[in-house]
Amino acid sequence: MPNEGCPPKTGIKAKMVTITRNISINDMIIQLESTDIWQNAKLAASTLIADRFTYPATATFNRNEVWVMNARLNELLDSNAVPAKHFAIHYAVFRPLPKPKEANNHN
């Protein structure tokens, strides 16, 4: 059975998913796009490396805006750190990735 283990089709045809990528110094938020009900996906947009997010843990939406919370996970690693009382939430600015140029076959 080819769809074994897959959730049943719900009729929802989401084309974009936003992911918080938390891998040490290259933390960024990315968006994946699919045109075939998530059989395949491609990287569609990301935040700039200059727009660093310190330990992004979760994201939320407000209409078409994406907001990301700085979870301060580094404080969990430091036993001497004073626990934070406030957490920052930042607006994520996405930049579309350039489309790959198609190869020209001039024979």
| pLDDT tens digits along 54-89 | 778 888 889 889 998 887 777 778 888 888 888 888
In a domain, 3, yes or no: no
31-66 burial, b if ≥16 CB within 10 A, otherwise e? bebbeeeeeeeeebbbbeeebebebbeebeeeeeeb
Dihedral sign, Cα of residue 84, residue 25, residue 28, residue 95: positive
**pLDDT value of position 103:** 54
- Residue 75 is inside which H or E element, if any? helix 74-77
Is 101 within a domain?
no
Residue 104 is assigned to a structural domain of this protein: no
How many domains are there within the chain? 1
Judge whether 67 lies within some domain.
Answer: yes
Q: Domain for residue 87, yes or no? A: yes
Q: What 3-state DSSP class applies to 67? A: strand
Please tell me the pTM assigned to this model.
0.66
- Supply the range of the domain harboring residue 74: 16-96
